Structure 1
Amino acid sequence: MTTIVRNLQLVRDRITTACFAAGRDPASVRLLAVSKTFGAEAVADAMSDGQRAFGENYIAEGVAKILALQARRSALEWHCIGPVQSNKTRLVAEHFDWVQSVDRLKIAQRLSEQRPAQLPPLQVCLQVNVDGGSNKAGLAPQDALELAQQVAQLPRLTLRGLMSIPEPAINFVAACAVHARARALFDQINRSGVLPAPMDTLSMGMTADLEAAIHSGSTLVRVGTAIFGGR
């Protein structure tokens, strides 16, 4: 058993334990393995233990890995979770399955226009800066409903939910409080009735705070260090 496989199993155990503690079905939380700065061989190692969804922060690096593993493309789900600049939207639209970091209408419009017609719609989450952290990307919570409505109307995109990366919290209770804000916003947008279909994905929680995120309603946790090691 490799270190990555062993780590994957430990992370899955953490997710299961956190779900039981929150009174949730472990099947309601997906694991996204964040493979940034690690090569295609590390992704293949994780694949050997059944992991299929991978997240990349750096677009060019992610595309290189996608191409390196092209022979197994149909078995993989690639998520862009880093900032997307206008000059990189075509790469994202042509190669990724998901983009979780949309925070401007202009970027969403470009992704929609550049998504190849032969590919399924690009799955999209809006990145929201729930705690107002000065070093974090994402739109302000009060702007999320309007952007969600606009993105949901674009062709070649499917709005799936919200993503957040709050500043590190001092303890479990504080982390839960911040994640609860994202959950409340997610519920508010779904209740608004302005979307053609309810959002189903709340992407929050990483290595240090996945338990708090799951307690607060996360449906997808993004874990890198606990699987692949320090960067």
Structure 2
Amino acid sequence: MTDHFTLTLAHIRARIDAAAQFASRDPATVGLLAVSKTFPTEDIRSFYAAGQRAFGENYVQEFTDKVAALADLADLEWHFIGPLQRNKTRSVAASAHWVHAIDRLIIAERLSQQRPNQLPRLNVCIQVNVSGEASKSGVAPEETLELARHVAALPNLNLRGLMCIPEPTRDEAALAAQFEQLHQLQAQLNEQGYALDTLSMGMSSDLEVAVAHGATLVRIGTALFGARPNKMTA
């Protein structure tokens, strides 16, 4: 009998594949990041057993605890996707495979300095504030190229792409415009020689719009894990 986790994962993957096909894209070019923040390690193990390998966390202490608790799953791919304070970068630098929310040079510099020498370079994305909301983290679109220039020069980081969190709206046209802005920024950076291959955008409610505008990694939490418990603190 197929269990809940396998069925849920298959349903989300089917949504992603259908969205890619509708956009005349190869479904294999769109990855799935399971956003496991606030959910127990047992759920991660269950999705792992169903075939999921990439998991995203937002809070440093929770991230650190889960990395330790799941150390026996050697091929887990850990993505840190939340905002980082400069005094909390060390454990992320030591354990993450990806960091999605680089929005200040000081954070990138600390991650590079604290990345253990025996590990490969840390994959990073620059977070861009495509909605212009004052409450949102992220570099302004017009400042992205300058930040990318500095981040790409850091020795222990591998600048892979861009990330965004659009404004919460049901207006599909507004979402499309914000996702397309990130897509165009990627194209502009690649024209400058950066060879970015990742657009981290799209969540449970808007993944189809994101995929239509070039997303290569969608961050799915609620549609996989269910309603989120009370937020944990970092």
TM-score range, shorter chain: over 0.9
Identity %: 53
Q: 1:228 offset after TM fit, Å?
A: 0.4
What whole-Å deviation, never above 9, does each CA across 1:30-84 have from its counterpart, x for those lacking one? Answer: 00000000111110000011100000011110111111010112x1100000001
Which residue of structure 1 lines up, in the alignment, with residue 200 of structure 2?
203
Q: 1:4 offset after TM fit, Å?
A: 2.7
Q: Distance in 2 between matches of 1:149 and 1:126?
A: 11
Which residue of structure 2 lines up, in the alignment, with residue 190 of structure 1?
190
Runs of 4+ that moved beyond 4 A: none
- Specify the code of the residue in structure 2 equivalent to 1:94: A
Which residue of structure 2 lines up, in the alignment, with residue 29 of structure 1?
30
Q: Output the aligned Cα RMSD.
A: 1.0
Which residue of structure 1 lines up, in the alignment, with residue 54 of structure 2?
53
Which residue of structure 1 lines up, in the alignment, with residue 223 of structure 2?
226
- Specify the code of the residue in structure 2 equivalent to 1:77: E
> Where in structure 2 are there 5+ consecutive unaligned residues?
229-234
Which residue of structure 1 lines up, in the alignment, with residue 45 of structure 2?
44
- Conserved 8 A contact 2:202-2:211: yes
**TM-score (normalised: structure 1):** 0.96
Which residue of structure 1 lines up, in the alignment, with residue 21 of structure 2?
20
What whole-Å deviation, never above 9, does each CA across 1:176-202 have from its counterpart, x for those lacking one? Answer: 121101101111111123x3xx01000
- Conserved 8 A contact 2:167-2:175: no
- Conserved 8 A contact 1:133-1:166: no
Which residue of structure 1 lines up, in the alignment, with residue 214 of structure 2?
217
- Conserved 8 A contact 1:104-1:147: yes
- Conserved 8 A contact 1:130-1:182: yes
Which residue of structure 2 lines up, in the alignment, with residue 162 of structure 1?
162
Q: What are the within-5 Å matches in structure 2 for residues 83-102 of structure 1?
A: 83-102=83-102
